[in-house]
């Protein structure tokens, strides 16, 4: 019969211990857990992203109800244990639930400390420890107002940043002269203060909180110097105390925390203590990494007599505030016997400081750029001598031994036992081993199998680099180049994940892929808008506000803020009616310049924005549509006169060009697509430097692609030869559709070819007619939704009419009043 194991507290530490236990000795124990919180085990570290809105509670659940059921665990939610009866070997919770135990784990965590100043018991004085605290803060934030956070340490600042992101005004009061003084030196503390202030968070240092003001709920905070700050809530984040009352009442040895030996047993050998409530060799911990180490020892000890011992931990700290990179570890006080190495880059807001003693790193503070944190921490823990690399040490690992600044090489150089994930204590070889042994290819799989990057997430970049290293070509090397500062994911990852996770809107992509900013930037939003449009035709609704102005108003902005207007001239052909309509428009709206473009059509430059809808209405009336001269879209199809007139012409190049343009106009593409059709190899339409070009010959049509004649100059490659015009059209359309589905935003066709290779493109559109047909059909389907003239939509006054009218006019008199 299984022995009975009772666990008091269902926090992160015992959760981890149980995982180990069920792996090592399934069925050995029948487990009962009592949890004062009315819920399952969740990742407490991630409360800050929940507070700031970057994650939801569901995202941070570690063990769901099904997990407890599958391991036969009885979980008493919302039941606080009030007594441990060691003689009877039972625990009893509030409302009388009693459970007998053979072995007991006390894992009661810690309690936030509340400074006992006047007013500290008023409604609205909150702590920051569990989901209930987050929910109370969110409720307060929903109606705005000011929050005062007392305490400028890790928790206080994460709370402040979260509340700010939720729209509250926030003041941080900190007793010491600089923030996070226990983890940061004053220089880094100052940089941190500056970036918090830049986000609109008020920071008051050397602030001694005198009293909290208010009748029955918080109204303000008074400082010792008499300053009064209005406040709707006060978050106390001044420190934590191990929660030991229960253990003390049961007669266990208690100092600052519940005392345990290296075997994690308390003074009663059948009772273990684990987590933040513990005191081990005089030390209490408030970070998760040491607790996980303890958890492993507890699990081993529960399986039977063994050698597994906990010997204490060295810890490092990272602040999880989106956009602020900060790392600190060890001891960085100054001293005569110590030497410091400092690197600053003021414009980039980077500060790095290492403290070296007896040729060993004993402390590290990194601000603004923390990629080398793991490496420094590893040198520190292993007490590696640093004299050989002393000169370049501060520049980090990538500078050591050859290839500078290549992150992959840097990760490759790490020893197998180097720690990658600090929270879970996962080393490099464990990750690479799991990737190879289990054939893992995605970050999620690596997380599931190794736990690396599954807690605070700051090592995600390193883990991805390890994947690139281990998987080689199978892992796209571009994957380590993020799309922009808002994400660590590359274009390739984002495109893949949009399809894999069926993400269908920009907010959904940002939420699911953990965007680091609330609403993206001018780099990622247009890219996401394109990807969603290309991947979900007919379903995704184009987001105008994520388009560059030219694509939003379907005209090209000029340096003086006016616009240019280029109507399509199919294949470069025009008529007297079209030319007359253009002439009339130019007169009517007094358009200052008219020019032939390099793309065989006419540009009207200098149109006032307000006039655009009327200009378009007139052009529409003459049968003209937008030439998309502004779009990441099909631009022009240049042609030459071909068999119609030319004495050398071999095929109807003009006809094919017109046909292609009429078939493909309106389509959005990763970058602009320009085409041309020349009637013979003399190539008057310059087809051999276009994204797609056709050279007609007596035998048929030579399909070219991947030329460039802008920033880069490059002749085209030949894709294939076909005999008929229909085949030529099908080939071109399938090629462009493949590019639409694979191209990275702003990647012209020639760059896409370079990335994916000729073989893969030929395999998709040339070698296999059935596949080609699939791409062709997908293009046709997407055209159902995009082949609409955007000018007509706007000229009628319905769509986006706000774009073209000022909101208000304030006359001089009114303003001068």
Partner 1 sequence: MSDWHRIGLVTDIPRRGARCVNSPFGRIAVFRTAEDRIFATEDRCPHKGGPLSQGIVHDSSVTCPLHNAVISLKSGEMRGPDEGRVRVFATRVDPLTEVIELSLEDEAAAIREAAE
Site residues (vs partner 1, CB under 8 A)? 167, 200, 347, 517-522, 525-526, 544-550, 553, 557, 559-561, 802, 806-812, 814-817
Instruction: Indicate whether 47 belongs to the interface with ligand FAD (CB under 6 A).
Output: yes
Spatial distance between the Cα atoms of 773 and 733, rounded to a whole number of angstroms: 10
Residue 803 CB-density burial (10 A; 0-12 exposed, 13-18 middle, 19+ buried): middle
Nearer to ligand FAD, 20 or 744 (CB): 20
Question: What does DSSP assign to residue 146?
Answer: E
Nearer to partner 1, 360 or 608 (CB): 608
Instruction: Indicate whether 601 belongs to the interface with ligand SRM (CB under 6 A).
Output: yes
State which of residues 234, 247, 287, 374 lies at the interface with ligand FAD (CB under 6 A). 287
Instruction: Indicate whether 635 belongs to the interface with ligand SRM (CB under 6 A).
Output: yes
CB distance 380 to 364 below 8 Å: yes
Nearer to ligand FAD, 275 or 790 (CB): 275
Q: Could you say which residues in the range 148-207 bind ligand FAD, by CB under 6 A?
A: 155, 158
Q: What is the DSSP string of 81-142?
A: EEEEETTTTEEEEGGG-EEE-SEEEE---EEE-----TTTTSBTEEE-SSHHHHHHHHHHHT
| Residue (of 329, 58, 381) closest to 182 by Cα position | 329
Give the shortest CB-812-to-partner 1 separation in angstroms: 4
Q: How many residues bind ligand FAD (CB under 6 A)?
A: 36
State which of residues 324, 629, 680, 761 lies at the interface with ligand SRM (CB under 6 A). 629
Question: Which residues is 211 bridged to in the sheet?
Answer: 222
| C-alpha gyration radius of the chain | 33
Nearer to ligand FAD, 94 or 198 (CB): 94
Instruction: Indicate whether 66 belongs to the interface with ligand SRM (CB under 6 A).
Output: no
Q: Could you say which residues in the range 667-696 bind ligand SRM, by CB under 6 A?
A: 674
Q: What is the DSSP string of 594-648?
A: EEE-TTSSEEEEEE-GGGHHHHHHHHHHTT--B--TTSSBEEEEEE--GGGT-SS
Nearer to ligand SRM, 166 or 748 (CB): 748
546 touches, from ligand FAD, partner 1, ligand SRM, none (C-beta below 5 to 8 Å by class): partner 1
Give the shortest CB-815-to-partner 1 separation in angstroms: 5
743 touches, from ligand FAD, partner 1, ligand SRM, none (C-beta below 5 to 8 Å by class): none
Residue 354 three-state SS = strand
Give the shortest CB-327-to-ligand SRM separation in angstroms: 38
Spatial distance between the Cα atoms of 786 and 795, rounded to a whole number of angstroms: 17
Instruction: Indicate whether 275 belongs to the interface with ligand FAD (CB under 6 A).
Output: yes
Reported residue count of the chain is 817
- Choices 347-355, 395-403, 643-651, 709-717 (CB under 6 A): range interacting with ligand SRM: 709-717
Rounded to the nearest angstrom, the gap between the alpha carbon of residue 332 and the centroid of all alpha carbons in its chain is 31
598 touches, from ligand FAD, ligand SRM, partner 1, none (C-beta below 5 to 8 Å by class): ligand SRM
Instruction: Indicate whether 704 belongs to the interface with ligand SRM (CB under 6 A).
Output: no
Nearer to partner 1, 35 or 556 (CB): 556
| Residue (of 475, 508, 510, 533) closest to 670 by Cα position | 533
80 touches, from ligand SRM, partner 1, ligand FAD, none (C-beta below 5 to 8 Å by class): ligand FAD
Structure tokens at 647: 């004495």
Nearer to ligand FAD, 330 or 642 (CB): 330
Structure tokens at 780: 């046709």
Give the shortest CB-261-to-ligand FAD separation in angstroms: 18
Q: Where are the beta strands (DSSP E) in 616-753?
A: 634-639, 673-678, 692-697, 700-705, 708-709, 713-714, 717-722
Residue nearest to ligand FAD (CB): 11
Question: Which residues are known binding-site members for siroheme?
Answer: 684
Residue 384 CB-density burial (10 A; 0-12 exposed, 13-18 middle, 19+ buried): middle
Give the shortest CB-574-to-ligand SRM separation in angstroms: 12
Instruction: Indicate whether 35 belongs to the interface with ligand FAD (CB under 6 A).
Output: yes
Q: Could you say which residues in the range 303-342 bind ligand FAD, by CB under 6 A?
A: 320
Q: How far is CA 121 from CA 124, 188, 215, 229, 295, in A?
A: 9, 34, 11, 18, 35
595 touches, from partner 1, ligand SRM, ligand FAD, none (C-beta below 5 to 8 Å by class): ligand SRM
Spatial distance between the Cα atoms of 505 and 509, rounded to a whole number of angstroms: 6
Which residues are within 8 A (CB) of 66 and not within 5 positions of it... i.e. 6 or more apart? none
Nearer to partner 1, 304 or 798 (CB): 798
Instruction: Indicate whether 525 belongs to the interface with ligand SRM (CB under 6 A).
Output: no
Nearer to ligand SRM, 428 or 638 (CB): 638
519 touches, from ligand FAD, ligand SRM, partner 1, none (C-beta below 5 to 8 Å by class): partner 1
Nearer to partner 1, 556 or 737 (CB): 556
Q: What is the DSSP string of 470-499?
A: HHGGGS-GGGGS-SSTT-S--HHHHHHHHH
Q: Could you say which residues in the range 103-132 bind ligand FAD, by CB under 6 A?
A: 107-109, 128-129
Spatial distance between the Cα atoms of 817 and 815, rounded to a whole number of angstroms: 6
525 touches, from ligand FAD, partner 1, ligand SRM, none (C-beta below 5 to 8 Å by class): partner 1
Place of tokens 């857990």: 33
Nearer to ligand SRM, 79 or 491 (CB): 491
Structure tokens at 383: 């007490």
Residue 730 three-state SS = helix
Q: How far is CA 292 from CA 276, 381, 421, 423, 697, in A?
A: 11, 17, 12, 8, 72
Give the shortest CB-544-to-ligand FAD separation in angstroms: 38
Instruction: Indicate whether 711 belongs to the interface with ligand SRM (CB under 6 A).
Output: yes
Question: Which residues is 353 bridged to in the sheet?
Answer: 342, 365
Instruction: Indicate whether 565 belongs to the interface with ligand SRM (CB under 6 A).
Output: no
Instruction: Indicate whether 710 belongs to the interface with ligand SRM (CB under 6 A).
Output: yes
Nearer to ligand FAD, 154 or 446 (CB): 154
Instruction: Indicate whether 632 belongs to the interface with ligand SRM (CB under 6 A).
Output: no
636 touches, from partner 1, ligand SRM, ligand FAD, none (C-beta below 5 to 8 Å by class): ligand SRM
Question: Which residues are known binding-site members for [4Fe-4S] cluster?
Answer: 640, 646, 680, 684
599 touches, from partner 1, ligand SRM, ligand FAD, none (C-beta below 5 to 8 Å by class): ligand SRM
Q: What is the DSSP string of 20-84?
A: HHHHHSTTSEEEEEEESSSS--B-GGGHHHHHHTSS-TGGGBSS-HHHHHHTT-EEEET--EEEE
Residue 508, CA atoms < 13 Å, CB-side half-sphere: 11
What dihedral do alpha carbons 357, 360, 362, 364 form, nearest 10°? 110
Give the shortest CB-439-to-ligand FAD separation in angstroms: 31
806 touches, from ligand FAD, partner 1, ligand SRM, none (C-beta below 5 to 8 Å by class): partner 1
Question: Which residues are known binding-site members?
Answer: 640, 646, 680, 684
Residue 175 CB-density burial (10 A; 0-12 exposed, 13-18 middle, 19+ buried): middle
Instruction: Indicate whether 731 belongs to the interface with ligand SRM (CB under 6 A).
Output: no
Instruction: Indicate whether 264 belongs to the interface with ligand FAD (CB under 6 A).
Output: no
| Residues forming the site for ligand FAD (CB under 6 A) | 8-14, 34-37, 44-45, 47-48, 80-81, 107-109, 128-129, 155, 158, 243, 246, 275-276, 286-289, 291, 320, 423, 456
| Residues forming the site for ligand SRM (CB under 6 A) | 556, 558, 564, 566, 595, 597-599, 601, 603, 629, 635-636, 674, 708-712, 748
């Amino acid at each position: 019969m299984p022995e009975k194991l009772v666990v008091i507290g269902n926090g992160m530490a015992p959760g981890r211990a149980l995982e180990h236990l069920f792996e090592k000795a399934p069925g050995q124990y029948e487990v009962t857990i009592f949890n004062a919180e009315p819920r399952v085990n969740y990742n407490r570290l991630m409360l800050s992203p929940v507070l700031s809105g970057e994650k939801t509670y569901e995202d941070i659940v570690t063990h769901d109800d099904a997990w407890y059921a599958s391991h036969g665990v009885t979980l008493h939610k919302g039941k606080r244990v009030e007594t441990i009866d060691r003689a009877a070997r039972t625990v009893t919770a509030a409302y009388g639930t009693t459970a007998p135990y053979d072995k007991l784990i006390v894992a009661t965590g810690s309690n936030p400390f509340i400074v006992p100043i006047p007013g500290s018991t008023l409604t609205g004085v909150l702590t920051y420890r569990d989901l209930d605290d987050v929910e109370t803060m969110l409720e307060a934030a929903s109606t705005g107002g000011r929050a005062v956070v007392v305490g400028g340490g890790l928790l206080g600042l994460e709370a402040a940043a979260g509340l700010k992101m939720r729209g509250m005004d926030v003041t941080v009061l900190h007793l010491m002269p600089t923030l996070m003084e226990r983890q940061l030196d004053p220089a880094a503390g100052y940089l941190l203060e500056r970036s918090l202030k830049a986000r609109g968070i008020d920071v008051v240092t050397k602030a001694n909180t005198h009293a909290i003001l208010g009748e029955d709920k918080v109204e303000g905070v008074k400082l010792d110097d008499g300053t009064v700050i209005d406040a709707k809530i006060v978050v106390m984040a001044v420190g934590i105390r191990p929660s030991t009352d229960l253990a003390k009442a049961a007669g266990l040895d208690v100092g600052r925390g519940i005392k345990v030996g290296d075997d994690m047993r308390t003074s009663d050998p059948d009772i273990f203590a684990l987590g933040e409530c513990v005191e081990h060799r005089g030390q209490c911990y408030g970070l998760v990494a040491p607790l996980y180490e303890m958890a492993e020892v507890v699990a081993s000890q529960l399986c039977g007599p063994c050698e597994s011992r906990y010997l204490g931990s060295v810890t490092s700290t990272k602040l999880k505030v989106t956009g602020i990179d900060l790392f600190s570890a060890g001891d960085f006080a100054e001293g005569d016997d110590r030497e410091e190495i400092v690197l600053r880059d003021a414009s980039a807001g980077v500060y790095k400081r290492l403290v070296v003693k007896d040729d060993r790193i004993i402390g590290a503070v990194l601000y603004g750029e923390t990629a080398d944190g793991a490496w420094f921490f590893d040198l520190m823990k292993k007490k590696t001598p640093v004299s050989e690399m002393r000169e370049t040490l501060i520049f980090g690992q990538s500078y050591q031994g050859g290839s500078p600044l290549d992150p992959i090489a840097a990760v490759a150089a790490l020893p197998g036992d180097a720690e990658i994930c600090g929270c879970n204590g996962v080393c490099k070889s464990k990750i690479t081993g799991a990737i190879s042994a289990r054939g893992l290819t995605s970050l999620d799989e690596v997380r599931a199998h190794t736990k690396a990057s599954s807690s605070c997430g700051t090592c995600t970049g390193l883990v991805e680099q390890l994947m690139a290293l281990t998987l080689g070509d199978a892992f796209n090397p571009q994957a380590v180049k993020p799309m922009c500062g808002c994400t660590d994911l590359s274009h390739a990852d984002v495109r893949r994940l949009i399809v894999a996770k069926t993400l269908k809107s920009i907010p959904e992509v940002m939420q699911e892929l953990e965007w680091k900013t609330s609403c993206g930037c001018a780099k990622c939003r247009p890219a996401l808008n394109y990807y969603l449009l290309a991947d979900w035709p007919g379903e995704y609704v184009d987001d105008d506000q994520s388009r560059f102005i030219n694509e939003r108003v379907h005209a090209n902005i000029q340096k003086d803020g006016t616009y240019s207007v280029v109507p399509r001239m199919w294949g470069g052909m025009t008529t007297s009616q079209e030319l007359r309509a253009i002439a009339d428009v130019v007169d009517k709206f007094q358009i200052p310049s008219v020019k032939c473009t390099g793309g065989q059509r006419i540009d009207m430059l200098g149109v006032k924005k307000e006039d655009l809808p009327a200009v378009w209405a007139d052009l529409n009336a003459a049968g003209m549509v937008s030439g998309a001269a502004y779009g990441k879209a099909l631009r022009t199809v240049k042609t030459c006169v071909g068999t119609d007139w030319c004495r050398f012409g071999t095929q109807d190049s003009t006809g094919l060009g017109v046909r292609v343009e009429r078939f493909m106009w309106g389509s959005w593409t990763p970058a602009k697509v320009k085409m041309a059709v020349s009637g013979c190899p003399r190539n008057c339409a310059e087809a051999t430097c276009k994204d797609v070009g056709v050279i007609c010959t007596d035998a048929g049509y030579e399909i070219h692609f991947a030329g460039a004649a802008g920033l880069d100059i490059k002749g085209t490659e030949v894709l294939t030869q076909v005999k008929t015009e229909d085949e030529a059209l099908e080939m071109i359309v399938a090629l462009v559709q493949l590019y639409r589905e694979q191209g990275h935003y702003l990647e012209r066709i020639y760059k896409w070819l370079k990335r994916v290779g000729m073989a893969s493109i030929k395999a998709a559109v040339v070698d296999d007619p059935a596949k080609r047909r699939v791409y062709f059909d997908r293009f046709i389907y997407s055209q159902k939704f995009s082949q609409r003239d955007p000018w007509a939509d706007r000229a009628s006054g319905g769509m986006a009419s706000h774009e073209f009218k000022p909101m208000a006019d304030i006359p001089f008199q009114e303003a001068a009043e």
